Structure 1
Amino acid sequence: MLKEFPREFMMGAATAAHQVEGNNNNSDFWTMEHVPNSMYKEPSLEAVDHYNRFKEDILLLAKAGGNTYRFSIEWARIEPKKGFFNQEEVEHYREVLQYCHEHNVTPIVTLHHFSSPKWLISEGGWESEQTVQYFERYTRHIVLELGELIPYICTINEANMGKQIKKIMKRMEQKLNSSSNEKSDGSVQVGLNMDMKTKMKSYYQELGKAFDMDPSAIYTYLMPRSEQGEKIIMDCHQQARAIIKETAPHIKVGITFSLYDHQTLPGGEESVKKEQYEDFLCYLPAIQEDDFLGVQNYSRKIHGPDGVIASDDTTRLTKMGYEYYPEALGNVLRFVVKHWQKPIIITENGVSTDNDKERVEFIERALKGVQDCMDEGIPVIGYTYWSLLDNFEWQLGYEQTFGLIAVDRETQTRYPKESLTFLGSHIKSVIKKDSSSLK
């Protein structure tokens, strides 16, 4: 049985702009979705029209009892052309933030959730040192315009994702000349299309044209991330943090990481240490001045003498191909607290499944792990389930179903699931709303 959470605990759900808003046509992902021979199974198009229906979606969350909403501001909307800031888009996000406050929902804003302005990629993207200055400028603009409405900022979503994608793409490259394509095994916590053998070269050529870049440069961009790129990402974070602290010191600043529960069998200890260092520990020097850490977890990896052990026919899998293992979250929190004693927000945790009873079970077991960790003294201050809505899962398109709310994309009608009712009922019973606490 779940116990009561502390009154101040933040509980809710999360989204990312490109995955839900629709018509993000100045972004790099929109370009990648629409070129000939695209690796994307389908384009995002109108997505689930959250851009126009955010009030309906936030209200569904709030009426269910949710008191927190994590969402991203889309850089490609704010600065669609280099140096040009679109005030209408700034006002759109002002309206989103104000609507959250009006309904006693604490907004947690992510400044960069994977998607970037198309022009940024043409300028060299996240492998160019200039990007640090561009991100700094964008951050300053957001904070000056909207900072008074923002209590929490995640600068960059899953800053370690480049390494995780690089690992799986290296394995995929090794398969290119084999007789079969590698299928998803859940070894990276984002939607990647593995059916790439026949498309890859032509895809790079088309992207080179679209971004006005040499195809070899595009290859570097799509194979994130070099050591230089790793440094640039963390420089962007640190510069953004400095600007936020200088401009709006009331805002709590953090970053999010994709973290697995790494478990070891005899002989797998060195493999675990290596992955834990690459996933998290190597970033510690750059985040020491942060106010909180965003932890994102979906599953575990089991390591043996030869590295990660593949799942077998007896393993319970999610629709994404991850092992169904909600207890991973609590284990990750226990690992993190050994190296990080400041507040932790679980900024993503969830499951893709067509059986919503599995989602209810997942949430209950994951939250039990969170409560156990809090009882042990781990400073967890929030949990935002991924995702509020069934949405666009990057290269995999719309086939994945993480959401607490289903959407008929022909009519954009919302259908709240039992899991939203479960999460919301639990929140209402343990968290008393108090509008006077919002400032």
Structure 2
Amino acid sequence: MTQQFPEGFLWGASTAAHQVEGNNTKSDCWLMENVEGSMFKEPSGSAVDHYRLYKEDIAQMAAMGLNGYRFSIEWARIEPEEGHFDAAEIEHYRNVLLACRQWKITPIVTMHHFSSPQWLIREGGWESAGTPARFARYCAHVMRELGDLIPYVCTINEANISLGIKKIMKRHQAQAAAPGAQVGMNTDKMAQMQKNYEALSKAFGSPAAGVQAFLAPRSDNGLEIIFKAHTEARAAIREISPQTQVGVTLSLYDYQSVAGGAEQAAQALQDEFLQFLPYMKDDDFFGLQNYTRAVYGADGILPVPESAEKTQMGNEYYPEGLEAVVRYAWKHLGIPIMITENGVATDDDTRRVAFIDRALQGVHACISDGIPVKGYMHWSLMDNFEWQLGFSRTFGLIEVDRTTQERTVKPSGHHLGSIATKNTI
């Protein structure tokens, strides 16, 4: 039975600047990749050279049949030193946005996707009370220059991700098997973390207490700073570009429980989503990101069953989680939803095709029940740099030969494009 999606539904894919552009030399991640004893398996280098090849990549998206592209503008490029805004980099992103317009692709711009300017970390990073104002200033500058080309803004990617990172680190220290983080963490090098912190403190000129990059365990105060950065940026964006719709994205599991685990699952939902509702209730939309489920028992989160199919990230292959997360996000938040990331790390592309189909069945069921879902952005457009895990994980709809940077659309890319073209599943 053919299932129709609403007219104007956005079908697309997502990237993050540091993971695809290459040579992001002013960012904290670049420095962290290249210090002695780095937690990163390899440096990003030229990544997949999207900074140079964006025109071809956007044209390829259109040829596939997609009409939406979620990408990030790199703060470290726009403001490489505090208070110094690089006009040439603004022009680069203007050209990216114009390429989207040329190919009739709606841009969904993320202002911060994990990587930060090195100078921000030297000023205390994401534990500094000055960061929200600095972030809002950067967002205001970008919107003054480019706001007329940007219909949707996600201020911060996965503003809650540090909670998941902290939990993964605790479970690893306790040698407890459980689902992996929804970001590339190199748990093989956990034992050398303290030595790495010392090297980073020296490189950034930061106190020995550690470098407060975005992808670090947060204090409660640090979490408040991140969400304050969102609300201050939202206000700045609306003042300058009132036609631009603004939201934030969160990384969420489908929180489930077995006998005795309901209270634990409810607490996880509270910790990772519900506590942040006051910061998001005035947003124009919610950026929802889901990859799998987390199942809780009486003693906490349960390991992925041995019999379950697992992804390259160590997570359970569970596309049905997306529908559940859309439903509880709508129930508790009540604003339109943009699925800004959903996908699977696998080297078997037939499993990606099946993942897309099963996830979209759930999305359609939500829409049929009146939930306003604006679009589906698959993670990711291309196989790319998965943070500390380097290039070892393959999420993309497009394969990239990094020796030649040649792109090859996978069957899953053609499959999603065919769905987008027909607007049906």
Normalising by the smaller structure, the TM-score range is: over 0.9
Which aligned runs of 4 or more in structure 1 are off by greater than 3 angstroms?
219-223
Task: Report the CA distance between 1:151 and its aligned residue.
Answer: 0.1
SS at 1:338 equivalent: helix
Distance 1:419 1:2, change over 3 A: farther
Distance 1:102 1:222, change over 3 A: closer
**What does residue 434 of structure 1 align with?**
none
2:181 alignment partner, one of 180, 188, 194:
188
1:258 alignment partner, one of 251, 274, 283:
251
For 1:361, the aligned partner's letter is A
Please show how residues 160-239 of structure 1 align to structure 2 within 5 Å.
160-175=160-175, 185-218=178-211, 223-239=216-232
Report which stretch shifted further, 161-170 or 390-399: 161-170
Partners of 1:394 and 1:217 lie apart in 2 by 19
Distance 1:325 1:107, change over 3 A: same
SS at 2:63 equivalent: helix
2:279 alignment partner, one of 261, 286, 297:
286
Partners of 1:219 and 1:109 lie apart in 2 by 24
**What does residue 30 of structure 1 align with?**
30
Partners of 2:258 and 2:312 lie apart in 1 by 26
**What does residue 128 of structure 1 align with?**
128
Cα deviations across residues 2-41 of structure 1 (Å, max 9, x unaligned)? Answer: 5121121011000000000000010000000000000000
Q: Is the 8 A contact 2:261 2:300 kept in 1?
A: yes
Partners of 1:116 and 1:24 lie apart in 2 by 10
Q: Is the 8 A contact 1:4 1:430 kept in 2?
A: yes
**What does residue 292 of structure 2 align with?**
299
Q: Is the 8 A contact 1:388 1:403 kept in 2?
A: yes
For 2:67, the aligned partner's letter is N
Please show how residues 18-167 of structure 1 align to structure 2 within 5 Å.
18-167=18-167
Task: Report the CA distance between 1:195 and its aligned residue.
Answer: 1.2
For 1:246, the aligned partner's letter is E
SS at 2:333 equivalent: coil
Report which stretch shifted further, 70-79 or 163-172: 163-172
For 1:424, the aligned partner's letter is G
Partners of 2:337 and 2:190 lie apart in 1 by 40
Partners of 1:326 and 1:403 lie apart in 2 by 16
Distance 1:278 1:2, change over 3 A: farther
Partners of 2:126 and 2:207 lie apart in 1 by 16
**What does residue 4 of structure 1 align with?**
4
**What does residue 353 of structure 2 align with?**
360
Distance 1:117 1:291, change over 3 A: same
Task: Report the CA distance between 1:410 and its aligned residue.
Answer: 0.6
For 2:367, the aligned partner's letter is M
| TM-score w.r.t. length of structure 2 | 0.97
Cα deviations across residues 184-217 of structure 1 (Å, max 9, x unaligned)? Answer: x433210000012442222112111110112223
Partners of 1:197 and 1:386 lie apart in 2 by 26
Cα deviations across residues 77-97 of structure 1 (Å, max 9, x unaligned)? Answer: 000111111100000000000
For 1:44, the aligned partner's letter is S
Partners of 1:415 and 1:254 lie apart in 2 by 32
Partners of 1:268 and 1:196 lie apart in 2 by 31
Superposition RMSD on alpha carbons, in Å? Answer: 1.4
Q: Is the 8 A contact 2:121 2:213 kept in 1?
A: no
**What does residue 179 of structure 1 align with?**
none
SS at 2:248 equivalent: strand
Whether 1:243 and 2:236 are equivalent positions in the alignment is yes
SS at 1:337 equivalent: helix
SS at 1:109 equivalent: strand
SS at 2:211 equivalent: helix
2:395 alignment partner, one of 402, 418, 436:
402
Q: Is the 8 A contact 1:261 1:299 kept in 2?
A: yes
**What does residue 178 of structure 1 align with?**
none
Query: Which segments of 5 or more consecutive residues in structure 1 lack a partner in the other structure?
Result: 176-181, 432-439
Partners of 1:301 and 1:236 lie apart in 2 by 28
For 1:415, the aligned partner's letter is T
Task: Report the CA distance between 1:374 and its aligned residue.
Answer: 0.5
**What does residue 384 of structure 1 align with?**
377
For 1:22, the aligned partner's letter is G
| TM-score w.r.t. length of structure 1 | 0.94
Task: Report the identity percentage.
Answer: 53
Whether 1:341 and 2:334 are equivalent positions in the alignment is yes
Q: Is the 8 A contact 1:260 1:328 kept in 2?
A: yes
Partners of 1:115 and 1:350 lie apart in 2 by 21
Distance 1:243 1:384, change over 3 A: same
Q: Is the 8 A contact 2:400 2:408 kept in 1?
A: yes
For 2:275, the aligned partner's letter is C
Partners of 2:214 and 2:278 lie apart in 1 by 26
Task: Report the CA distance between 1:224 and its aligned residue.
Answer: 2.1
For 1:238, the aligned partner's letter is T
Task: Report the CA distance between 1:309 and its aligned residue.
Answer: 1.1
Whether 1:369 and 2:362 are equivalent positions in the alignment is yes
Cα deviations across residues 225-269 of structure 1 (Å, max 9, x unaligned)? Answer: 111101111111001111111111100000000010011112111
Matched residue count: 424
Task: Report the CA distance between 1:315 and its aligned residue.
Answer: 0.8
For 1:425, the aligned partner's letter is S
For 1:299, the aligned partner's letter is T
Q: Is the 8 A contact 1:2 1:367 kept in 2?
A: no
For 1:378, the aligned partner's letter is I
Partners of 2:141 and 2:83 lie apart in 1 by 11
Partners of 2:12 and 2:304 lie apart in 1 by 31
Task: Report the CA distance between 1:338 and its aligned residue.
Answer: 1.1
**What does residue 415 of structure 1 align with?**
408
Q: Is the 8 A contact 2:343 2:379 kept in 1?
A: yes
SS at 1:215 equivalent: coil
For 2:125, the aligned partner's letter is G
Distance 1:373 1:193, change over 3 A: same
Cα deviations across residues 48-83 of structure 1 (Å, max 9, x unaligned)? Answer: 000000111111111111000000000000001111
Q: Is the 8 A contact 1:14 1:388 kept in 2?
A: yes
Cα deviations across residues 166-186 of structure 1 (Å, max 9, x unaligned)? Answer: 1111233445xxxxxx77x43
Q: Is the 8 A contact 1:67 1:105 kept in 2?
A: yes
